Structure formats: C-alpha cells, structure tokens
C-alpha cells in the first residue's frame, strides 16, 4: 500500500517529477555511454593487436624470447607439424599459424632496402588477420610467389601491386640465397615501425630461401580470449620444452602500455563525471523534497509518524531513481543504435598512424552499475532531505509556502 501511494504521489506534480527523472536519466545515461566508449576503445586496441599481428599469442621454444642466440634457428621448433596438429585439438583453439621471422635485402632492380620478413601460411592467415588493412591489392593467400609489403616499406622500394621484388637472405647454413616475388598487396596496420619494415611471403618459399624445415613460432587464434589458459596448461603438460606467450606480453609497448595509460586517464575522467552526476541528482531531489514542507506538515498533523513519512518519501526517491535510470539507459542505447551505428571516427591513438572507428559497446554489468549508482544516490538524497523536513515542528512545516 505504501509503495502504491508513493507511485501515485509522483503523478501529483508532473513538473517536479519530470525534472527529477530527466536529471537521473541524463546522469545514468552519460555514465552508461562513457563506460561503453571506454570499453569500445579497449576492444579496438585488443582487436587491432590480435587480428593484425600476433593472434591471441604464440608458442616458442622455452626461453627463446628472453635470450639472444648466435644461431637462433637452432632453437626454432622442430617437428612443428605434429605440434600444430595437437595444438588444434586444445579446447578453444580456432586456428594455428606457423611462422618464420628473418631479415633480408629487398631490391626492385634500382632501389635496395633492408626489411624484416615473415614466412606465413597466407591462406590461413588471411581468414584471421582481418585488421592487417590491405590498402592496395589483396591479402596474401595461395599465391605461390606472392608478397605483401608494409606501406612504408613499399614506399621506400617505390613498388606497387604487380611489381617484382627480389629478396636476398642468408640461409641457416651461412650461404646466400634469393627469390623473386610479385607484390600482391600493400598493408597498413597503423604501427609505423611495423609498416616501415615488414614484408610477408609464403611459408613454403621461406623454407626454400632459408634452407630449413623448422618454424620460429606458432601463432594461435582462439574462439575466445579466455581460452588462453587451456593453451598454457596443455603446453606445460605435453611440451615442457615449449612456452606460450599471450599477445599482451608480445606487444607490451603498443598494447599493454597504451591500455594501462588509457585506464588511468579514464579513471580520472570517470571520477569527475560521477561527482557531477551525483551532485546533480542530489541537488534536484533535495530541492523537490524541500518544496513539499507544507505537504509533509499535513501528513504529520494527520497522525503520521516521522518514520512513516520517511518511509513514504524514501520509496518515492527509490522509484524515481529506478525509473529515471532505466529511461536513461534506454535513451543511451537508442541514441547509439540510431546515430552512432557506424562508430565514432577517432584520430590516431598513441602508437598508431591511422584513424579508426570506435564503437560504443555496452555491457549488462555497466548498465546494472549505472542503475544502482543512480538509484542509490536518489535514495540517499531523499532520505537526507526528508529527515530534515519530517523532524520540523508541525506548525512550522504547515506555515511553509
């Protein structure tokens, strides 16, 4: 009965009720959008790292990444086909990508530059590494003599799609070897140091160039980032001579450092927004309660106790908080779906040289947090203001206008 009366009271003065609901809706909606924007940026960073360069992580021989070897190829993964087959059987593993990294001299007959090569399974990688951003031509797939170049490297060589490039390398035996390739694509990941130096050629051609049957690493694509623990556990059990490294460690400078920096920055901004929202809701609701001194005086004169009055007004405040925050979340969601469905074009982020779209991505927990915060603030504001007014002498409350 008390809750029903509280809801009916909200309809008695629609101007005051709408003002409170609008304040709560704007506060909860703005917090919801801000969280979604932050979440979208973090996801964009992660997706760019995972689907342009590293996958969800990679496998190397134990200690390979931490030590410098005179002959690193002696510490590459032998019998990698059997390892790759068993890796595919790990729950959560979607794809595996054997790779070889090497340095070589590239020439188009007139210009020669050094580059950092990657021998990859182009057909498999083209299905997963969708953020490599092929600006010209096509991605490397099943072309037997195909090559893709980073944008900066292609500019240095002055070659375009269809051009021929010769790659000269030292084999693992110390002899010189070379091969001719056709440029099929030019990519732009946004990471300048990568785009200025890296080229990719088919793994089969890399085996011939380097005169080896080993791979340096095996990158892994997962169904979900949470499945990485399965890979680590399986490696420790079946291949103690191998180790798995997640993408956040592989790309610490660009990904992990950037994410840590952004989280700290967003934390400060969130505190500022939260303070403004809380004060706005608190002020609006408190003002509304203080305007009802005469009404509260009548309740007291009719025999209602201070506790009864506080209970009634608290339920009103809680109802305003729940309804207002719910409306705020709905408005924020509709605004995102209608006006921001293509994302927000952002300037190049730290460590990148290209623009990218950030999508506001909402999570249920974000919405629940915004509702709870707004409702709690509305409830506390109502209790504080109501307690002050309900304890006024009845005569003084009745005289208020």
Tens of pLDDT, residue by residue over 276-330, are 888 888 888 788 777 888 888 888 888 888 888 888 888 888 888 899 999 999 9
> Do residues 300 and 177 both lie within one domain?
no
Among candidate residues 193, 248, 228, the one with its CA nearest the CA of residue 50: 248
Check whether residue 280 and residue 189 sit in a common domain. no
> Domain check: are 25 and 141 in the same one?
no
Residue 260 sits in the same domain as residue 218: no
**pLDDT(401) > 70:** no
- Are 314 and 191 in a shared domain? no
Do both 173 and 140 map to the same domain? yes
318 versus 258: which is more confidently predicted?
318
How high is the pLDDT of residue 389? 79
- Of 213, 240, 267, the residue at which a domain comes to its end is 240
Q: Which residue has the higher pLDDT, 279 or 167?
A: 167
Query: Does 234 share its domain with 181?
Result: yes
Mean pLDDT of the chain: 88
Give exposure, 103-142, as e/b (b: 16+ Cβ within 10 Å): ebebeeeeeeeebbbbbbbbebbbebbebbbbebbebbbe
Checking if the pLDDT of 172 tops 90, the result is yes
What residues make up the domain containing 271?
2-49+256-399
Residue 54 lies in a domain: no
Contact 24, 320 (CB under 8 A): yes
CA 96, CA 222: separation in Å to the nearest integer? 9
Q: Select from 240, 268, 302 the last residue of a domain.
A: 240
Return the closest-CA partner of residue 39 out of 259, 228, 326. Answer: 259
Q: State how beta strands 164-170 and 176-187 pair.
A: antiparallel
393 and 356 in a single domain? The answer is: yes
pLDDT > 70: percent of the chain: 98
pLDDT at residue 200 greater than cutoff 90:
yes
Residue 75 has pLDDT above 90, yes or no: yes
Mean of pLDDT values over 105-125:
94
Whether residue 287 is found in the same domain as residue 389: yes
Domain membership flag for residue 283: yes
CA distance 153 to 115: 8
Q: How many domains does the chain contain in total?
A: 2
CA distances from 21 to 280, 284, 312, 333 (A): 12, 10, 18, 17
Tell me whether residue 218 is in a domain: yes
Confidence class of residue 93 from pLDDT cuts 50, 70 and 90?
very high
Q: Is 195 exposed, middle or buried (0-12, 13-18, 19+ CB in 10 A)?
A: buried
Residues 200 and 274 in one domain: no
Q: Residue 108 — left, alpha, or beta (φ > 0 → left; ψ -120 to 50 → alpha)?
A: alpha
- Same-domain check for residues 41 and 67: no
Q: Are residue 192 and residue 221 in the same domain, yes or no?
A: yes
Mean pLDDT for 326-344 is 91
Partners of 104 in the β-ladder: 115
Confidence at 184, pLDDT banded by 50, 70, 90 = very high
Neighbours of 11 (CB within 10 A): 8
Nearest residue to 215 via CA among 79, 54, 64: 79
Most confident range (mean pLDDT) of 226-240, 266-280, 296-310 is: 226-240
pLDDT given at position 2: 66
Arithmetic mean of pLDDT, 170-178: 94
Q: Considering the chain, what percentage of its residues have pLDDT values greater than 90?
A: 46
Q: Which pLDDT score is estimated for 266? A: 81
Tell me if 356 is assigned to some domain.
Answer: yes
Q: What is the pLDDT of residue 14?
A: 85
Residue position matching structure tokens 């490294």: 245
- Asked, for residue 58, whether it belongs to a domain, the answer is no
**Res. 349: pLDDT tops 80:** no
Which pLDDT does position 116 carry in this prediction?
Answer: 96
Please check whether residue 136 is in contact with residue 160, taking contact to mean a CB–CB distance below 8 angstroms: yes
Choice among 10-24, 64-78, 106-120 with the minimum mean pLDDT:
10-24
């Amino acid at each position: 009965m008390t809750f029903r009366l509280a809801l009916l009271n909200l309809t008695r003065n629609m101007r005051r009720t709408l003002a409170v609901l609008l304040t709560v809706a704007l506060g909860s909606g703005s917090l919801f959008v801000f969280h979604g924007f932050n979440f979208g940026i973090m996801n964009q960073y992660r997706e760019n790292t995972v689907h342009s360069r590293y996958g969800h992580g990679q496998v190397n021989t134990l200690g390979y990444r931490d030590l410098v070897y005179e002959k690193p190829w002696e510490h590459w993964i032998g019998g990698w086909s059997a390892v790759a087959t068993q890796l595919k059987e790990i729950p959560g593993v979607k794809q595996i990508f054997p790779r070889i990294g090497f340095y070589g001299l590239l020439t188009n007959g007139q210009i020669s530059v050094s580059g950092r090569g990657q021998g990859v399974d182009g057909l498999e990688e083209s299905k997963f590494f969708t953020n490599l951003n092929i600006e010209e031509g096509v991605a490397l797939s099943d072309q037997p003599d195909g090559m893709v170049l980073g944008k900066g490297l292609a500019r240095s060589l002055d070659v375009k799609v269809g051009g021929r490039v010769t790659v000269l390398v030292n084999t693992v035996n110390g002899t010189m070897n070379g091969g001719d390739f056709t440029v099929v694509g030019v990519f732009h990941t946004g990471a300048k140091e990568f785009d200025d130096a890296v080229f990719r050629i088919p793994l089969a051609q890399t085996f011939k160039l380097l005169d080896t049957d080993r791979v340096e690493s095996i990158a892994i694509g997962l169904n979900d980032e949470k499945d990485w623990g399965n890979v680590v556990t399986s490696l420790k059990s079946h291949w103690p001579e191998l180790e798995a490294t997640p993408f956040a460690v592989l790309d610490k400078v660009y990904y992990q450092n950037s994410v840590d920096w952004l989280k700290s920055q967003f934390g400060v901004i969130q505190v500022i927004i939260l303070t403004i929202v809380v004060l706005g809701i608190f002020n609006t609701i408190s003002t509304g309660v203080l305007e009802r001194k005469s009404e509260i005086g009548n309740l007291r004169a009719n025999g209602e106790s201070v506790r009864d009055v506080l209970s009634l007004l608290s339920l009103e405040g809680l109802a305003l908080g729940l309804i207002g925050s719910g409306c705020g979340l709905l408005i924020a969601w509709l605004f995102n779906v209608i006006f921001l469905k293509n994302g927000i074009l952002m300037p190049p982020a730290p460590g990148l040289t290209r623009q990218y779209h950030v999508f506001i991505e909402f999570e249920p927990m974000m919405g629940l947090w915004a509702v709870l915060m707004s409702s709690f603030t509305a409830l506390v504001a109502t209790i504080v203001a109501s307690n002050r007014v309900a304890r006024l002498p009845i005569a003084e409350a009745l005289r208020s206008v």
